[in-house]
Structure 1
């Protein structure tokens, strides 16, 4: 008789926990690939490194490092100006995530971040959406 309550508790726990993730069938690698694809074809982009990590009930974090084919700061800012809305659009419907976004110069000596565009938010997807919408 103890087996029935245990099965019910396990079943209920599974239903509750399944609601904590993103859409069914979406893995951390899927999110990273989606963010990478959103920016890798932009002009002056040499390559993109993207990562995404789900930490159980703690939250999600990730980063998108866009490596430019130039060290020209103005061009790098231009890449970022196009990349932020592209990432936000690609993330439509995704769960909240803290996402670091940077454009790294050729050779890696310098980088620009959303702060270089006047962004002063928290680095969350919601905060980026609000900034891009302004």
Structure 2
């Protein structure tokens, strides 16, 4: 269960702090490490990641969703919802196994990417 801690924290930090970010920031980098346990962080020799953690958003106490498989958890991270809402419940899913609670105009559950796409389209309109 601990393997998605860093990914979900980075995403949570990005989504919760979007309005607080200065306007001059034009890019956001999302780093996800599959299978990375929080228990290893204090002893790990990873100076670059630890330097980014000093100035970024992160936590070592988040949890994965159930079932605890990579695809389901990545979907939950990118969509900001659990499997009962987005519908993906199995590894290798191309379409949701259960109907999504809501869908965008693209026929998929909203994700950080669809929100960014919609926002950028609104900004481009006169």
TM range (shorter): under 0.3
* TM-score (ref. length: structure 1): 0.25
Greater fraction of residues in strand? 1
Give the number of the structure whose alpha-carbon radius of gyration is greater: 1
